[in-house]
């Protein structure tokens, strides 16, 4: 494989493009609403009508507005059809010939679409994720070629550092500095691992990227491997993502057959292979040391650090671990430059972030916005606010490890530092909206139950602390708790956060602490009266 081969594949793909392209979303969300039957109907009508030379029906990845699926787009007209059924297929085809389609049309000028800035999702909903030619036609694998032919490994590491890219898995550590640590650690064998163990309730960002644009992740992993001196990669993906696994398998096979994975890539000395490891659904395996234990065939439980994986990871070898979204950013950074990427976002939070917008909100789906975008713009403008005109009460970011941000703080810019100041975290990108009907102590109990069930049990603070916190929350919700119980709950939050072994336990108290900080009265209203018969004071046990 040489650059001329890439050019030839891209030119052949572009020259075969039809005058009209009908894009049918074939991501998991729309497929659950029978988009595959819609695509089959469209293909049959095009074939039977003799329009195959003029119209292409293309299966694509996530088209973002998941609540309106199945979604169908028509190019070059820029039309979006929503909630399309197989029975709507004839009308869609008639519309491409100048007729009228009695099919629900979306609004591509809605802020849900226009406020987005696509880097990671640039190809999502446009290319066929099961054809490598479709990816190559949009400059796929050109960044890998540039890296192997024009840059040293140190140049690549420096580019990652200058871009300001931080890990999109939740911790927000500098990607370039992590790469530099692995690169400078001497070892005969090194590994690159993609963490696709996305387990937060309401989160589907990584799943959508893998289903929609798997080659961007493979290309990013290959560039990272060249930078740090690795020749073997693993993608750890949860078994609950069968479509993502299928498309990853197809992508890896195609990349190998095309010479873009394997030995002597682009006729260089660099070799890199990627294998998939399927997780059994343990939330704790999203923690990097537990993930590595699982890849090695051991029980997925965390271990103390140091040593960090960058120095001693898989089988004791230096290991680079980044998540799906982090790797998907890399090819674009190489193609467009570190300075370009660093010009987007805020001072310490560069680039864009993908969020899964869910909960009590009109527009449920996938969005990508510049770091620093106000939460209000995301929730009220792009998301359309809560259904029925009900007021929004809070927004939870960061999943079970995150916090609940009240409506009074919706003008907060979404970046790592601002969310941390409010007692929440960026997390991997889950964003759950709650309206006025939501009871915050019940929300805290829900997430604590999740953490309690998902605790691996290795360390006592998390194993027993989450159980005790859940019992106290349940007692509060059932109106059986006293002010002393609330004080005990806060003590437990502090103890579990300070002494747990890994991020699961360390961050498990966040939903409690954030709801107590902003919605304390809801807890106090549920407490039993004091022994003297008086109600609990409004400031009882205030922190």
Check residue 169 and give its pLDDT. Answer: 84
Mind listing the pLDDT tens digit for each residue in 464-512? 999 999 999 999 999 999 999 999 999 999 999 999 999 999 999 999 9
Check residue 399 and give its pLDDT. Answer: 84
Tell me how far apart the terminal alpha carbons of the chain are, to the nearest angstrom.
63
- The H or E element that residue 248 is part of is helix 242-258
Mind listing the pLDDT tens digit for each residue in 206-260? 999 999 999 999 999 999 999 999 999 999 999 999 999 999 999 999 999 999 9
Return the closest-CA partner of residue 326 out of 152, 123, 174: 174
3 state SS of 438 = coil
Check residue 144 and give its pLDDT. Answer: 98
Quote the tokens at residue 63.
């088209």
- Residue 277: strand pairing partners: 236
Check residue 528 and give its pLDDT. Answer: 77
Which string of DSSP letters, residue by residue, matches 82-117? -S--GGGHHHHHHHHTT----S-B--TTSHHHHT--
Check residue 543 and give its pLDDT. Answer: 35
Q: Residue for token digits 């030995």?
A: 263
Low-confidence ranges of the chain (pLDDT < 50): 531-533, 538-543
Can you give the pTM of this predicted structure? 0.94
Contacts of residue 323, defined as CB under 8 A and 6 or more positions apart, other chains included, come to: 167, 168, 169, 194, 195, 196, 206, 428
DSSP single-letter state for residue 169: T
Return the closest-CA partner of residue 20 out of 81, 80, 97, 88: 97
DSSP single-letter state for residue 413: B
Q: How far is CA 438 from CA 309, 327, 391, 445, in A?
A: 41, 36, 11, 12
Q: Residue for token digits 């190809």?
A: 123
Check residue 405 and give its pLDDT. Answer: 95
CB atoms within 10 A of CB 186: 7
Q: Distance between CA atoms of 457 and 282, rounded to whole angstroms?
A: 12
Domains of the chain plus CATH, in order, are 18-107 (3.40.30.10), 139-342 (3.40.50.11540), 353-435 (3.10.20.600), 440-524 (1.20.1440.230)
312: exposed, middle or buried (Cβ count in 10 Å: 0-12, 13-18, 19+) = middle
Q: Residue for token digits 């810019």?
A: 413
Contact 65, 25 (CB under 8 A): no
Burial letters 217-231, b for 16+ CB under 10 A, else e: bbbbbbbbbbbbbbe
How many Å separate Cα 538 from the centre of its chain?
39
Q: Distance between CA atoms of 368 and 366, rounded to whole angstroms?
A: 7
Return the closest-CA partner of residue 481 out of 434, 541, 401, 436: 541
> Reduced to 3 DSSP states, what percent helix, strand and coil does the chain have, rounded to the nearest 5?
45, 15, 40
Contact 226, 354 (CB under 8 A): no
Check residue 534 and give its pLDDT. Answer: 54
Check residue 542 and give its pLDDT. Answer: 38
3 state SS of 48 = helix
Q: Residue for token digits 């998540």?
A: 323
Q: Distance between CA atoms of 171 and 165, rounded to whole angstroms?
A: 12
Check residue 535 and give its pLDDT. Answer: 52
Q: Residue for token digits 């999702």?
A: 121
Burial letters 133-145, b for 16+ CB under 10 A, else e: bbbbbbebbbbbb
């Amino acid at each position: 494989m040489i650059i001329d081969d890439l050019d030839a594949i891209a030119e052949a793909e572009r020259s075969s493009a039809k005058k009209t392209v009908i894009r049918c979303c074939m991501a998991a969300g729309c497929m659950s609403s029978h988009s595959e039957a819609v695509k089959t109907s469209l293909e049959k009508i095009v074939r039977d009508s003799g329009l195959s030379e003029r119209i292409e029906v293309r299966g694509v990845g996530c088209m973002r507005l998941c609540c309106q699926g199945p979604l169908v787009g028509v190019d070059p007209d820029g039309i979006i059809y929503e909630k399309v059924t197989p029975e709507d297929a004839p009308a869609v085809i008639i519309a491409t010939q100048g007729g009228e389609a009695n099919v629900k049309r979306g609004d591509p000028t809605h802020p849900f679409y226009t406020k987005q800035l696509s880097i990671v999702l640039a190809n999502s909903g446009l290319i066929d994720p099961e054809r490598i030619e479709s990816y190559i036609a949009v400059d796929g694998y050109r960044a890998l070629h540039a890296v192997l032919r024009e840059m040293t490994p140190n140049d690549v590491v420096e580019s990652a550092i200058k871009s300001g890219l931080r890990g999109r898995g939740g911790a927000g550590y500098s990607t370039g500095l992590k790469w530099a640590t692995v690169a400078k650690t001497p070892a005969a064998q090194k590994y690159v691992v993609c963490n696709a163990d996305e387990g937060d309730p309401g989160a589907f960002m990584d799943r959508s990227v893998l289903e929609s644009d798997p080659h961007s992740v493979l290309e990013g992993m290959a560039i990272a491997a060249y930078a740090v001196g690795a020749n073997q990669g693993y993608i750890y993906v949860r078994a609950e993502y069968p479509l993502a696994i299928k498309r990853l398998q197809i992508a890896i096979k195609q990349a190998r057959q095309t010479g873009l994975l394997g030995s002597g890539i682009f006729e260089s000395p660099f070799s890199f292979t990627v294998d998939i490891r399927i997780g059994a659904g343990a939330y704790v395996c999203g923690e990097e040391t537990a993930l590595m234990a699982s890849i090695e065939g051991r029980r997925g439980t965390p271990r103390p650090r140091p040593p960090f994986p960058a120095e001693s990871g898989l089988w004791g070898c230096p290991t680079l671990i980044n998540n799906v979204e982090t790797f998907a950013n890399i090819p674009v950074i190489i193609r467009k430059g570190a300075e370009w990427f660093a010009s987007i976002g805020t001072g310490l939070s560069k680039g864009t972030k993908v969020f899964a917008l869910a909960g009590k909100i009109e527009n449920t789906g996938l969005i990508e916005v510049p770091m620093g975008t106000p939460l209000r713009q995301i929730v009220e403008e792009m998301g359309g606010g809560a259904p029925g005109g009900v007021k929004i009460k809070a927004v939870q970011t960061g999943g079970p490890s995150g916090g609940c941000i009240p409506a009074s703080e919706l003008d907060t810019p979404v970046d790592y530092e601002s969310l941390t100041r409010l007692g929440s975290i960026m997390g991997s990108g889950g964003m759950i909206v709650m309206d006025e009907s939501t009871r915050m102590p019940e929300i805290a109990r829900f997430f604590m139950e999740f953490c309690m069930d998902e605790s691996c049990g290795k360390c006592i603070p998390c194993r027993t602390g989450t159980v005790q916190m859940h019992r106290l929350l349940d007692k509060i919700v059932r109106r059986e708790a006293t002010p002393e119980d609330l004080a005990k709950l806060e003590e437990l939050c502090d103890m579990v956060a300070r002494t747990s072994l890994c991020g699961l336990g360390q961050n498990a108290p966040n939903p409690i602490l954030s709801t107590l900080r902003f919605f304390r009265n809801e807890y106090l209203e549920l407490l039993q009266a004091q022994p003297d018969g008086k109600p609990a004071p409004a400031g009882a046990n205030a922190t």
